[in-house]
Every structure is written in C-alpha cells, then in structure tokens.
Homo-oligomer: A and B are copies of this chain.
Amino acid sequence: MSPLKGANGSERDISRLLRRAGLRVTPQRTLLLEIIRESEEHLDADEIYRLARNRHPRISLSTVYRTLSLLKDMGLVRELDFDQDHRHYELCDSGEYKHYHLYCLDCGKIIEFESPLVTELAEQLAQEHDFEITDCRVTVAGYCSRCRSGSGSES
C-alpha cells in the first residue's frame, strides 16, 4: 500500500494525522480537522465555529481558536491572510512531514525549519536498515538569544 494518500479517509485518517503530530485525539480536534478538510473553501474561524456547532453544540469558540493555532503550529493547517480581519485556514498536507521544530525552553517560542539534512538522514536510514520511512520527527530544544541574555528568569 502506498503511503498515505487518503483523499477520502475519515476519522481514522484524521486521528492518525493528529497522533503523528504528537497531539491527543479529541472529538473537537477531529471535528475541526474534518470540517477544514471537507470544505472546498478556505474557512475562517467563525465559519468553522458555526459548522462545528452543528455537530458538537457544546464546543466553545476558544477551543476553535486554540485548536487552529495549535494545528498551525504543528503544521497540519495553513493560515492564510486574505485581509486584515479574517484569517482563513486550509489543510496543509496529507501526511508529508516536511518541517520540524526548534523551540525555546524559556519563552516557548517555536521556530519551524526544514533541512535537507533531515531528508538525507531519512534516506540513509532507509537504506542502511532497509526501512520504508513514513514519518520523521525532529524536535530541537534550547534557549534563544533573547532569553539567554535578557531575562534572568529562573524558577
């Protein structure tokens, strides 16, 4: 079977997506991802909220925002700025993992990066161990320059 190309997967597909990003699978997240995926348009937060309430009336607006922001950070969803007041969202990929994360342990800032080194690594591993690689996660942590110099926060 080919790698995931599931155009018409389903919940199952979506929970896999979440899991791969290292996120917990909750009804809310699944629902929001489904809504984003099923729509041909680029929805904005409010539309997503409204659609979500059809199927899950208890969902709260802050959940929508938090989830969208999270999904964006994890690279599952792309944020589009058409105008100043609305942000629109679209599904980012269908399984391809192309970027990785560098984050500051102090201020929590997340920097996404890509690197040919990772691709190279994956290829090397695939050959050396005769693996078919489907996912590759790289998470680098440390302290950014500002946190190192500026603040003296310690707990």
Contacts and interface: CB of A to CB of B under 8 A. Distances in A.
Contacts of A121: 115, 117-118, 121, 138, 140
A133 B148 CA distance: 11
B142 A131 contact: yes
A54 interface: no
A126 interface: yes
Interface of A: 102, 104-105, 111, 113, 115, 117-118, 120-122, 124-126, 129-145, 148
13 contacts: A105-B134, A117-B117, A117-B121, A118-B121, A126-B142, A130-B144, A131-B142, A131-B145, A134-B141, A135-B142, A136-B138, A137-B138, A137-B139
Contact of A132 (B113, B131, B133, B148): B148
Number of copies: 2
A21 B101 CA distance: 16
Contact of A131 (B117, B139, B143): B143
A148 B120 CA distance: 22
A129 B130 CA distance: 34
